[in-house]
Amino acid sequence: MLTISRLAAYAGVTVRAVRHYHRIGLLPEPVRDRSGYRTYDAVAVVRLIRIRTLADAGVPLARVQELLDAGPEEFADGVQEIDKALRAEIRRLQDTRGRLARLAAGEHLALPQSVVDYLDRLRGLGVEERYIEMERDAWIMIAAQVPHSIDAVIAKKHQELDDPDTVKLYGLLSGALDWPADDPRIVEVADIMERLMVRAVEAGDAGADDGIDDQFVDLMDATMVESSPHAARLLAILEERGWKGWTRIERVPAAGLKTELPPS
């Protein structure tokens, strides 16, 4: 007859595991002998090995009892059912790992792939990471407001990047974070933006039909002004020329457009 420690050793488990199997009813607990010890026989060793084998194979302990008592056909059906559940769990865990890997990249947190690709394109153009972080935070808010149309918005942004003026504008804005407050290049930024806005008006792409409410536009504009020491000056220059806004740029009716634009 075997002590609990010897039983555990023969079956390749711990004494703690044996006691746990006693508590949940998987392994019958023998009565104590005259000396007050519980002793086990070969039947207990075999059952414990079967329990350990099933548990090591991934069978939930709640199902082990059912399989131990099942006939060959029931056992096979039970194993197939457990295998199906395990495969589903594996797929779920793989999806979770994929999401975690994307989150580790930073931009994928709350951003669709289309926006991430756009930010990567900006990096490829040499835009500084500090500016890209500002863009990323803005796109997180925009994507949450217009989740169903964000891919179309980004597709349009990609088209805009085919314009040399847009690329030049990004290059200037990227470096503007370190410019002095009175840097004359702010006027150059305003010139480029004005050319782009005139083209947008001519193409019928300007206006408020963007699915974003006015309060959110005000929030985005205020965030932009707070993030850059030059933003307020740039907006003032543009308003003098007949434009207002940043997130949603529109003509100022009373001012009108300039008749002569700076050369490209």
Mean pLDDT of 146-169: 92
pLDDT in tens, 236-248: 899 899 888 888 8
pLDDT in tens, 204-231: 776 555 667 788 888 888 888 887 778 8
Partner residues linked to 40 by β-bridges: 2
**Residue percentage of the chain with pLDDT more than 90:** 31
Question: Hey, CA dihedral for 109, 115, 117, 122, is it positive or negative?
Answer: negative
Per-residue pLDDT, 109: 63
Per-residue pLDDT, 258: 46
The whole model's pTM is what? 0.55
Non-local CB neighbours of 177 within 8 Å, separated by 6+ positions: 128, 130, 131, 228
Over the chain, what is the mean pLDDT? Answer: 84
When comparing pLDDT for 168 and 75, which is higher? Answer: 168
Is residue 166 over pLDDT 90?
A: yes
The kind and range of the H/E element at 238 are helix 231-240
How many angstroms separate the CA atoms of 231 and 221, rounded? 9
Per-residue pLDDT, 252: 76
Per-residue pLDDT, 107: 61
How many angstroms separate the CA atoms of 179 and 156, rounded? 29
When comparing pLDDT for 110 and 113, which is higher? Answer: 113
Is residue 79 over pLDDT 50?
A: yes
Question: Hey, CA dihedral for 135, 141, 143, 148, is it positive or negative?
Answer: negative
Mean pLDDT of 132-140: 87
Non-local CB neighbours of 50 within 8 Å, separated by 6+ positions: 68
Is residue 257 over pLDDT 50?
A: no
